[in-house]
Amino acid sequence: MNDKAWNNRAWFFVLPVLAFVLFSSLIPMMTVVNYSVQDTMGQNHFFWNGAGWFQNLLDPTTDIGGRFARAIVRNFVFSAAILAIEIPLGILVALSLPRRGWAVGPTLVIIALPMLIPWNVVGTIWQIFARQDIGLLGAVVNKIGIHYNDTEDPVSAWATIVVMDVWHWTSMVALLCYAGLKAIPDAYYQAARIDAARRWSVFLNIELPKLRKVLIIAVLLRFMESFMIYTEPMVVTGGGPGEATSFMSLDLVKIALGQVDLGNAAAYSLIYNLITLTVCWIFFTTMTQLEARKGA
Amino acid sequence: MARITLDGIAHAYRAVPRGDADYALKPLHHVWEHGLAYALLGPSGCGKTTLLNIISGLLIPTEGRLLFDERDVTLLPTEQRNIAQVFQFPVIYDTMTVAENLAFPLKNRRMERRAIAARVAEIGEMLGLTAEMGRRARGLTADARQKVSLGRGLVRPDVSAVLFDEPLTVIDPALKWELRSKLKIVHRTLDLLMIYVTHDQVEALTFADRVVVMNDGRVLQIGTPTELFERPDHTFVGYFIGSPGMNLLPAQVMGRHARVDGHVLDLGATYPASPPGGRVQLGVRPEYATLAAGDGIPVQVRRVEDLGRRRLARVALGPHELVATLPPGLSIAGSEAVLQVEPPNLHVYVDDRRVEGIAA
């Protein structure tokens, strides 16, 4: 093990990567850090504010703090809701897709279509789709007697955004699971038939364990993206009615660009970033550690 | 307790077979007797696995009928046939323990709980898995995993047959031998019909009571290991069984004698005149073609290979090459030697099929 040459000059090979990371993420982020510890009275004159913005933001009794806390709750509720729908639904779709034959190609393309549409176009589609006067969805739902108005009623607005995300991204979960299912050798299914295993038993004992790894990736990707969602609710509800669908990203843009409140916005975005990072890290380490412990 | 009858079973993977070449398995009649261990031996792609999958019901044959005793099961789905099958690579339910894996086929068939526990313990002990029973199956080594697979195949007490599809491919050579003898013991204790697919002749000859040699979708010979060695029915069997395989020499056969490159050999029996245009070959195993001092057919010695236990010589008889045994104690000076073959060990093949001589 330890008979390798000891040469610290090898670190020089890391320099290009370091330079790249500096320019792509660290330096731009430092400008945000810069704003988060300073205040200004205009005329491009800044002075030191220490942890003031952060203290304000993390104190729910202040105006900005309360707003921040409500947005966090909304974000977590939204991510939990779409994960609870998209993961099982994605698995179900993947299980029912054809695995061989001529139908595979066309089916996969059709399944993948929603993912290929840009976010703001998805928003526009659903904005029109949900309208009560001319939108197919909105008009039909109101016709059958359910009161539905995504610009006035918070429940309708939430339902629209959740359904829109499910429509947009379930295909990704389905395609990941499909790839995982295709990787299971035929012998497993043949052995299950020989053992007279029932369908549910095949799913629990063969398919689900083999899907564990792709599901970890699917949950991670969907959590990160849903936690950072911006464009679609921006186009469909604009964060309303009231602040009912003002997720953290929408709220942040209002503070930074609407109110030009740079200090609060900078502190807000740093904490937002930290939350995403922490949740993903906790999620990933617990999942991989569970994996390792089961393997032992 | 069952006998399995193949009544003209044939299979083509193409939906509408256009000719003989489309058949992975040519029409086949055979009866597998209860209590015997069969080996299906042949090179890769010869139709062994196809035949196995037809018996277990994973494939429905294009033609023919499959009978378990007198019952026609040709169209019956796998789970309703009393068949166990073990695959080439270990198939393990990762979420379960070793014991749960073994119990799975019994549980699915709603066997009584106490009977399951007893049977699982018995099979686990037979395969040497007792110490691992409570462990989760995913952490096991490759050969322990395959033992669990084998166990799942053997655990059902009521099966008509247990089918093995090259089950020892992934096993370490040293363990292979051990597992094979274990399977033999299991076979004797459980008194089952076992069909064992392999392309390894040693495996086939040591495991089986009867060996079925296949090539290109056809069964060429079914017999005991001795029969296959002493009297191969087909040149392919002669070549495939034995290491090195049988020597084949183009010859002219006239009654009791054969002529090879101008030399006359006594056949010890009278053979009918071969049909015109037929390719006539003389077959002799290297074990029975010995070099000697004295009378015989003069040959050129090309090379001698010392294998430790025995010595083999590559010799030339005119333009034909063959392998012969160099008996212990005999040393060859130069390249001239003499070849001796006992008449009963000489076989005549016409168009690759063995022709029986009339002893007189």
Q: Is residue B360 a part of any domain in this protein?
A: no
Closest Cβ opposite residue A194 in set B78, B93, B139: B78
> In which element (H, E) is residue B144 found?
helix B142-154
Q: Do B93 and A190 touch (CB under 8 A)?
A: no
Is the same domain home to B236 and B336?
A: no
* pLDDT tens digits, one per residue of B317-327: 888 888 988 88
Q: Do A209 and B94 touch (CB under 8 A)?
A: yes
Q: Which CATH number belongs to the domain containing residue B213 in this structure?
A: 3.40.50.300
* pLDDT tens digits, one per residue of B146-164: 888 888 888 888 888 888 8
Is the same domain home to B178 and B288?
A: no
Closest Cβ opposite residue A190 in set B58, B96, B153: B58
Query: For the ranges A257-261, B16-20, B253-257, B343-347, which has the lowest average pLDDT?
Result: B16-20
Q: Is residue B183 a part of any domain in this protein?
A: yes
Interchain CB contacts (distance < 8 Å): A and B: 55
Is the same domain home to B85 and B123?
A: yes
DSSP string, A170-215: HHHHHHHHHHHHHTS-HHHHHHHHHTT--HHHHIIIIIHHHHHHHH
Q: Is B56 on the interface with A (CB under 8 A)?
A: yes
Is the same domain home to B327 and B202?
A: no
Structural tokens at position B1: 């307790």
Of B187, B217, B240, which marks where a domain is finished?
A: B240
CB half-sphere exposure, A69, CA atoms < 13 A: 11
Rounded alpha-carbon distances, angstroms, from residue A23 to A11, A26, A29, B57, B332: 19, 6, 10, 62, 81
Beta-bridged to residue B255, according to DSSP, are: B271
pTM: 0.76
Is the same domain home to B286 and B235?
A: no
* pLDDT tens digits, one per residue of B211-229: 999 888 888 899 888 888 8
* pLDDT tens digits, one per residue of B102-128: 888 888 888 888 888 888 888 888 888
Is the same domain home to B223 and B278?
A: no
Which residue range(s) make up the domain with B350?
Answer: 247-355
CA distance B56 to chain A (A): 8
CA B136 to chain CA centroid, Å, is 35
Q: Is B139 on the interface with A (CB under 8 A)?
A: yes
C-beta contacts of B200-205 below 8 A and 24+ residues apart: B201/B41, B201/B240, B201/B241, B201/B242, B201/B243, B203/B39, B203/B168, B203/B176, B204/B39, B204/B40, B204/B41, B205/B39, B205/B241
pLDDT given at position B360: 59
* pLDDT tens digits, one per residue of A260-289: 788 888 888 899 989 988 988 888 888 788
Domain count, chain B: 2
Of B189, B216, B240, which marks where a domain is finished?
A: B240
Q: Is residue B169 a part of any domain in this protein?
A: yes
* pLDDT tens digits, one per residue of A108-137: 999 999 999 998 899 999 989 988 888 888
What domains sit in chain A, N to C, each tagged with a CATH number?
61-295 (1.10.3720.10)
* pLDDT tens digits, one per residue of A217-244: 899 899 989 998 888 888 988 887 888 8
Task: Please list the alpha-helical segments (H only) found in A99-153.
Answer: 104-116, 119-129, 136-143
* pLDDT tens digits, one per residue of A36-90: 888 877 777 778 887 878 888 888 888 888 888 899 999 999 999 999 999 999 9
Q: Would you say how long chain B is, in residues?
A: 360
Testing the interface with B: which of A194, A208, A210, A213 to mutate, by most B Cβ within 10 A? A194
Is the same domain home to B231 and B288?
A: no
Is the same domain home to B17 and B76?
A: yes
Q: Is A283 on the interface with B (CB under 8 A)?
A: no
Residue in the block written with tokens 């042949």: B42
Beta-bridged to residue B12, according to DSSP, are: B23
Is the CB of residue B118 less than 8 Å from the CB of residue B149? no
Of B195, B210, B240, which marks where a domain is finished?
A: B240
Q: Is residue B161 a part of any domain in this protein?
A: yes
